[in-house]
Amino acid sequence: MFSKSRLALAALSLTAAALLPLVAPSPSHAIPAYARQHKTECSTCHTIYPELNEFGEAYLRNSYVWPSGAHAAPAGKGEAQRTEGLWLSGIPEMLPVSFTATIDAAYNSRAVDELDLSSRSIRLQASSAFRDVAAFYLTYNLYAQDLQTGAHNNPNNASPDINELFAIWRHALKTPVNVRIGRMEPKLSLWKKSNRVITVPSFASTTYTQGQGGSQWSVDTPQDALEVNSLIGDRVLVSAGVANRKGQNSKDYYGHISGRFGGTDFSGHEPEVDLEKEATVWDYLGITVGAFGYSGHNGVIDAFGVAQERNNFYRAGAEIDLLYKRLHLKGSGVLGRDTNPDLSAGGSALHSHAVTVEGEYMFGAPVDVVALMRYDYFYNLQGATRRYIPAVAYTPLQNTKLSLEYIYEDGAQAINRTTLASLAFSF
């Protein structure tokens, strides 16, 4: 009896051990500070948080300014009730700070601590727009406790550190161009790392790494960068950037283009729907396609800041996002090439590739539950890895999410089965 209950718990938490490195920094980037600023509910921007809905994506692309109107009232009561001095100074009327915390339970029969309740994290988030002219965004990892995998009695805590900190100059010099500078997740993928129902593990297509040690790099790694982006006709987004990673004297370059057919456009305008007529497919359908490229370099840095065993690499990706009523499909594929992926003397080049496909179905009221199935595949220096992830997520309140996922990972060297139950809440 006892062993059966343990097995049941194991079935819940097993998969998390395989995800160990992924669990600790998992908190979402949902920002209740926005809800406070605009006096609106989380569901304005999110389906089940932190995944964004169409309006939330428009808010993100519009540099955290309310879309479809440059004169949105941050206090929710019109400009007349703003404190003029603060408004003229560009200072937010309330401190735009939020927190997101996660508490996890993981089970993995192969882990040292089969049932691990110690995995948890808390992240500080801050973001605001200054008079619709500029904006900033910050996420700071306050605390993250890894799962226990090895023989250590006290698994490492992830060091408190900035995850993202960037400033945005909107419509610079009164042009349609926005400028971002700072530490950021470069605009490559259609979805930010946090724009998912379940954030652990992240999509293999954007998080797979190549090689070991210093060669660890993935598409969604936050980097120090300068980026420009612009909307063309409300339905096409182009962005380009240059990244300058610490300790590296060379620059990386990247670009992104995406377009949307049907649905709410990138500026937040709703599609034309004739309410007098019978429903058509296009009343509900929205398709977004995107492509990106990244060309970079890394290597072992010597005492003079010069990269030895240099690795030149690129990633090229294509993605599609399809929303139809309560069905949401996401597909992402990436090709890559590294000239020296393990940063060794005389290392040989390697081609890599990764694919992620995720299908989500929202059951909606009266129970806000999303069921999803994800398939991940990536091939890197260690070989091929496949993941199959069924999961459900439930939000009893808009700022609280309970999720349960089973992660079956068929790796090049071992099979891992982890069950992860997670409680996340933002405030």
**CA count, 13 A, side-chain hemisphere, 288:** 24
Min dist. Cβ of residue 242 to other proteins (A): 35
Min dist. Cβ of residue 237 to other proteins (A): 19
Give 101's contacts (C-beta < 8 A, 6+ positions apart).
Answer: 27, 120, 121, 122, 123, 424, 425, 426
Q: What's the Rg (C-alpha) of the chain?
A: 22
Min dist. Cβ of residue 376 to other proteins (A): 23
Q: Output 284 or 408, the one with its CB closest to other proteins.
A: 284
| Distance, CA of 380 to CA of 375 (rounded, Å) | 17
Give 4's contacts (C-beta < 8 A, 6+ positions apart).
Answer: none
Length reported for the chain: 427
Look up residue 364 and give its two tokens: 């909606």
- Strands 97-107 and 115-116 turn out to be antiparallel
Q: What residue has token string 């994506």?
A: 57
Question: What are the two backbone dihedrals, phi and then psi, of residue 248, each rounded to the nearest 5 degrees?
Answer: -130, 125
Min dist. Cβ of residue 300 to other proteins (A): 48
Q: Output 77 or 351, the one with its CB closest to other proteins.
A: 77
Using CB under 8 A, list all residues that contact other proteins.
Answer: 38-41, 43-44, 47-48, 53-55, 66, 68-69, 71-73, 76-79, 263-264, 269-271, 273, 275-276, 278-279, 283-284, 286, 323, 325-326, 328, 362, 364-365, 368
CB count, 10 Å around CB of 318?
14
Q: Output 303 or 365, the one with its CB closest to other proteins.
A: 365
Question: What are the two backbone dihedrals, phi and then psi, of residue 92, each rounded to the nearest 5 degrees?
Answer: -60, 145
Q: Output 40 or 216, the one with its CB closest to other proteins.
A: 40
Min dist. Cβ of residue 57 to other proteins (A): 12
**Cα-based angle 22, 144, 359 (whole degrees, multiple of 5):** 35
Q: Output 250 or 280, the one with its CB closest to other proteins.
A: 280
Q: Output 40 or 212, the one with its CB closest to other proteins.
A: 40
Min dist. Cβ of residue 124 to other proteins (A): 25
Min dist. Cβ of residue 400 to other proteins (A): 15
Helices marked H in 179-263: 204-207
Q: Output 146 or 321, the one with its CB closest to other proteins.
A: 321
